[in-house]
Amino acid sequence: MSEQTSSMWGGRFSEATDSFVAEFTASVNFDKRMARQDIQGSIAHATMLGMCGIITQDESCQIINGLTQIQAEIDDGKFQWLVVLEDVHMNIESRLTTLIGDVGKKLHTGRSRNDQVATDIRLWLRDETDNILVLLAKLQSGLLDLAANHTKTIMPGFTHLQTAQPVSFGHHVMAWFEMLVRDSERFVDTRHRINQMPLGSAALAGTTYPIDRTITARLLGFEGICQNSLDAVSDRDFAIEFTANASILMMHLSRMSEELILWMSAQFGFIHIPDRFCTGSSIMPQKKNPDVPELVRGKAARVFGQLTTLLTLMKNQPLAYNKDNQEDKEPLFDCVDTLTGSLLAFADMLPNIIPNVDNMRAATMKGYATATDLADYLVKKGLPFRDAHEVVGKAVGLGVSKGVDLSELSLDELQSFSPLIECDVFDCLTLEGSLTARNHIGGTAPNQVLSAIKRGHERIINPKTA
């Protein structure tokens, strides 16, 4: 047994809280991470209480000064967090009363920890969303620079991981860019639903004091006010939505990682990843391992897990607040940390990968990547596409048996498959010809990729103006 029950809620208890239970139910060790937002919310609440005459202006000022001092203590690492005080909210409130006396006890007028914690998480996640948008913008602009240098660097484009058609490395990088544009849009959209204020809902039903929620919302920069008190204290959709967005983004980073890992292998030899992003093996001296992409691929699993945790946490909860909700923070924090770390690593690493231009080109020459171009050539000379497909299939067959590319077959050999083939055929069989021919929005022609890059600069989302 511990010595006492909490002075914050112990009035109706006749027995002290079991010491294990006190520790088991406490959240301060992790929710102290939201101290800044908790103080920010409390300052706004105290300001509103003063403005509405629920406490005096003088009391409001004393509370705000006390809270400001507590923030300084936390910043200086001098604040003493106590597990017996359960959570971040009661630790700060208790310290406030120690600092300014009984006036501190008035701060909790017209609110509950239920609307307080929901407000804190939203403020915290809003800041983290902005930080993630900044990192995404950095990564995206790095990708645009990388793509701009390689609109004419030719590599095999794959389907089924088999050589399909030539593309430029720049075009491939711009595919990654597109994924990240959608990811940014998702976070911007979710931010509107994060940025709604629960404060004023009190425990679940609202409060009997003449509060003005528009004042607190304005002070805290919320763009809206949660419209139902029961929903406001229990809703964690915004956190689930954020984690779902994070999962999709991590899935994208993981796909990019997979490509980097394959491309860095001796078998592909497509890219060089600077040494500072790789590590060696303690037994095999020749090894240079793509640890950063491998780890990001692994960390995606962890974020998906946190999404499942949050969905499962909420699925059986009746309205309104339940203590289960205390379990929302660690998955959310871990999701944010994992995502932020992965983005930091990628924003630094990805723009610095160096393509091995010769190897990419040699690989493109190997898999009959211009076969579709030959079929298109025949179609333009009047042959129906299915027949053209058949003709080219036979030409590829000859190439395979001779061990040469289509462009290395003689005109006579090519003409033996179709009299429509003339000496201009070799233009479309070159890799450059193949690229240049795909000249429309979204195609791999170098001038199209250049325009996509130009448009891309305007599509990067600046969180300050979003």
Catalytically active residues are: 160, 281
For residues 60 and 39, give the distance between their C-alpha atoms in angstroms, rounded to a whole number: 14
Q: How far is the CA of 221 from the CAs of 117, 196, 406, in angstroms?
A: 17, 9, 64
- Contact stretch for ligand ARG (CB under 6 A) within 70-78, 111-119, 174-182, 256-264: 111-119
Q: What is the DSSP secondary-structure string of 123-189?
A: HHHHHHHHHHHHHHHHHHHHHHHHHHTTSS-EEEEEETTEEEEEEEHHHHHHHHHHHHHHHHHHHHH
Whether 254 contacts 296, CB under 8 Å: yes
The nearer residue to ligand ARG, 117 or 428, going by C-beta atoms, is 117
CA proximity to 33, closest of 74, 80, 78: 74
- Contact stretch for ligand ARG (CB under 6 A) within 109-117, 267-275, 336-344, 399-407: 109-117
- Contact stretch for ligand ARG (CB under 6 A) within 112-120, 133-141, 348-356, 438-446: 112-120
Smallest gap from residue 303 Cβ to ligand ARG (A): 21
Binding status of residue 114 toward ligand ARG by CB under 6 A? yes
- Contact stretch for ligand ARG (CB under 6 A) within 110-118, 192-200, 205-213, 448-456: 110-118
Q: What is the DSSP secondary-structure string of 31-78?
A: HGGGHHHHHHHHHHHHHHHHHTTSS-HHHHHHHHHHHHHHHHHHHTT-
Q: Which of 160, 323, 440, 464 binds ligand ARG (CB under 6 A)?
A: 323
CB atoms within 10 A of CB 256: 21
Binding status of residue 326 toward ligand ARG by CB under 6 A? yes
Say how many residues touch ligand ARG, by CB under 6 A: 9
Whether 35 contacts 72, CB under 8 Å: no
Smallest gap from residue 96 Cβ to ligand ARG (A): 17
Contacts of 380 by beta carbon, 8 Å cutoff, 6+ apart = none
For residues 197 and 195, give the distance between their C-alpha atoms in angstroms, rounded to a whole number: 7
The nearer residue to ligand ARG, 320 or 374, going by C-beta atoms, is 320
Smallest gap from residue 27 Cβ to ligand ARG (A): 4
Smallest gap from residue 236 Cβ to ligand ARG (A): 10
Smallest gap from residue 30 Cβ to ligand ARG (A): 9
Q: Which of 39, 54, 70, 117 binds ligand ARG (CB under 6 A)?
A: 117
Smallest gap from residue 438 Cβ to ligand ARG (A): 54
Smallest gap from residue 9 Cβ to ligand ARG (A): 8
| Residue 128-167 contact track with ligand ARG, rule CB under 6 A, x = bound | ----------------------------------------
| Residue 359-398 contact track with ligand ARG, rule CB under 6 A, x = bound | ----------------------------------------
The nearer residue to ligand ARG, 229 or 326, going by C-beta atoms, is 326
Whether 296 contacts 346, CB under 8 Å: yes
The nearer residue to ligand ARG, 310 or 365, going by C-beta atoms, is 310
> Within 12-31, which residues bind ligand ARG (CB under 6 A)?
27, 31
The nearer residue to ligand ARG, 294 or 327, going by C-beta atoms, is 327
Whether 193 contacts 22, CB under 8 Å: no
Q: Which of 106, 111, 113, 191 binds ligand ARG (CB under 6 A)?
A: 113
For residues 343 and 134, give the distance between their C-alpha atoms in angstroms, rounded to a whole number: 10
CA proximity to 118, closest of 370, 276, 329, 406: 329
CB atoms within 10 A of CB 330: 16
Q: How far apart are the first and last CA of the chain?
A: 53
Binding status of residue 94 toward ligand ARG by CB under 6 A? no
The nearer residue to ligand ARG, 114 or 257, going by C-beta atoms, is 114
Smallest gap from residue 6 Cβ to ligand ARG (A): 10
CA proximity to 258, closest of 206, 221, 214, 293: 293
Q: What is the DSSP secondary-structure string of 272-293?
A: E--GGG-B--SS-TT--B-HHH
Q: Which of 47, 67, 74, 87 binds ligand ARG (CB under 6 A)?
A: 87
The nearer residue to ligand ARG, 119 or 257, going by C-beta atoms, is 119
- Rg of the chain taking only CA atoms, in angstroms: 31
Smallest gap from residue 23 Cβ to ligand ARG (A): 13
CA proximity to 191, closest of 251, 123, 134: 123
Burial of 260 (0-12, 13-18, 19+ CB in 10 A): buried
CA proximity to 459, closest of 249, 182, 187, 148: 182
> Within 25-64, which residues bind ligand ARG (CB under 6 A)?
27, 31
Tell me which residues touch ligand ARG (CB under 6 A): 27, 31, 87, 113-114, 117, 323, 325-326
